[in-house]
Homo-oligomer: A and B are copies of this chain.
Amino acid sequence: MFGVRACSALWGSRTVSRVQLLRTLSGMTVAQVGLHSIVYTCTITDLFNPMFCFVMQIDEEVAKLLQLKAKLGGDDGKIQFVLKTPKGTRDYNPKQMAIREKVFNTIVHCFKRHGAETIDTPVFELKETLTGKYGEDSKLIYDLKDQGGELLSLRYDLTVPFARYLAMNKITNIKRYHIAKVYRRDNPAMTRGRYREFYQCDFDIAGQYDAMIPDAECLKIVYEILSELDLGDFRIKVNDRRILDGMFAVCGVPDDKFRTICSTVDKLDKMPWEEVKKEMVNEKGLSEEAADQIGEYVSMQGGMDLAERLLQDPKMSQSKQACAGLTDVKLLFSYLQLFQITDKVVFDLSLARGLDYYTGVIYEALLTQAGVAPVVAEAQNGAPGSTEESVSVGSVAGGGRYDGLVGMFDPKGRKVPCVGVSIGIERIFSIMEQKAEACAEKIRTTEVQIMVASAQKNLLEERLRLVTELWNAGIKVQCICIFNPKLLSQLQHCEESGIPLVAILGEQELKDGVVKLRVVATREEVDISRGELVEEIKKRTL
């Protein structure tokens, strides 16, 4: 009671809604003090500490604002739960999980066809592991609170943990995939499948191989996955960091402006050239002339022919870097021909992916079919920024070569060449979900083969005995866990959830040692002897 008064005094006119003396914990009296949704467990001494009360006050204001924001009713001092998932995150319900499982199966099957192994890493890394890897995007990293011990951050992608893993285990050679969640404190656009927690689905080849063969295999994988998922037409844009740098050099961009001009070029998929140019000249201080020269190059698209033409280009050919990049793009296209995927791949000088760690080939896959649902949905919402976002076509995969990243982790700077691709699985989920909804496709969320039901009362034990028999034989069975369910409701449940068979038990069936097997779709019924039931179910649910 002392605590309450002391605290109220410190808080001025405020009243503490709940102070509850708890219990003697290791001989120390402990109180729970609560205002709104925050409850503090503290010692009585804490309540006399002005700093403690000050922190409580700040936390309390934040909680109040959050609650007001969620508009969940009155601020009456009662504990109010904001019943939601954190901003930019979502639950997956069983239907979404069924779609997710299907998509993952397709993708994993493709990775396995290419002989990949898989690894997993922790969801958080030492903070310093992520430091200096993401350029301007570092501000989007989630940090964990310092609760004593190491400083930790949630992983921002799967590539940096992969590089850390290689360096730490001195692995110089691996083809691996990794499907896991990553975290970015980005502005979420959930209707378009952009979340703060989202799956990445990465395939990477590390090791010293002959030029462009692993790079071409990554593109083959993107091609296979996007074809098999049947998401409509797509394009894979290809460029090379060295071509971009060479282009900047021959266009007269000062060395120290390469990265920032590159970020501006990267916006070309979201803004028209005029705006990009304005940013280069007005914000980044580039000369109008240099910007115009860049403008000419970044409008170029083609295939192997374009690479050949640029190798002859009087300006471009002055850059050794650009020539190295162009020669590799030429070689890459020769392998893409062998892999039979050149119909969807475009060499596009405007592609300039943001991440700092790319050193060679870069690529990005886009869905090109008009009216990809999620984009349209957001544009109609008229939310701020929706115009910009509706222009953006759906990027569903991206990657490139990053030969320097592993060396950043190795104590002796030993490099391991790497190339990889990340499948934009959340965008793909969103599209698949909308497709499933649009065609009113019925998605099963369980694989139950048969329901054990009864038309008569007091047969629970007999039902459970049969269920046990079937479980023990490996059959997927369901049974309503109540004494006397109605037959109609049991049959309805089967129709709703797509269970194909029902085993109906009654006094007569028990006497005859049979089960009435009902096919839900046709309503056909047939008596099957108990001994033959398992085989019959297997035959009918292949």
Q: A residues touching B (Cβ–Cβ < 8 Å)? A: 23-27, 37-39, 41, 59, 62-63, 66, 72-73, 81-87, 89-94, 97, 100, 112-126, 128-129, 131-132, 136, 138, 142-147, 149-152, 154, 164-165, 167-169, 174, 176, 181, 183, 185, 197, 205, 209-210, 213-214, 217, 220, 224, 256-257, 259-260, 283, 285, 335, 338-340, 408-409, 411, 445-448, 460-461, 464-465, 468, 471-472, 474-478, 481-483
Contact partner of A119 among B27, B94, B283, B447, CB < 8 A?
B94
Residues of chain B contacted by A174 (CB below 8 angstroms): 94
- The closest CB in chain B to the CB of A138 belongs to B41
Query: Would B476 and A115 count as touching, CB distance under 8 A?
Result: yes
Query: Would B283 and A26 count as touching, CB distance under 8 A?
Result: yes
Given A197-B123, A482-B209, does the pair A81, B129 have CB atoms closer than 8 Å? yes
| Further 13 A-B residue pairs, CB within 8 A, beyond A90-B122, A115-B477 | A23-B260, A39-B132, A41-B138, A86-B150, A86-B152, A94-B117, A97-B117, A100-B120, A114-B477, A122-B197, A142-B147, A144-B144, A224-B471
Query: Would B83 and A411 count as touching, CB distance under 8 A?
Result: yes
Query: Would A89 and B122 count as touching, CB distance under 8 A?
Result: yes
Indicate the member of A85, A445, A465, A474 with the most B CB atoms within 10 Å.
A85
Q: How far is the CB of A534 from chain B (nearest CB, A)?
A: 13
Contact partner of A117 among B125, B136, B445, CB < 8 A?
B445
Given A94-B119, A464-B339, A476-B113, does the pair A144, B145 have CB atoms closer than 8 Å? yes
Query: Would A120 and B143 count as touching, CB distance under 8 A?
Result: no
Query: Would A209 and B114 count as touching, CB distance under 8 A?
Result: no
- The closest CB in chain B to the CB of A483 belongs to B210
Given A39-B132, A97-B118, A482-B210, does the pair A126, B84 have CB atoms closer than 8 Å? yes
Residues of chain B contacted by A26 (CB below 8 angstroms): 283
Residues of chain B contacted by A128 (CB below 8 angstroms): 37-38, 63, 81-82
Query: Would B122 and A93 count as touching, CB distance under 8 A?
Result: no
Residues of chain B contacted by A27 (CB below 8 angstroms): 283, 285
CA distance A174 to B97 in the complex (A): 14
Residues of chain B contacted by A39 (CB below 8 angstroms): 131-132
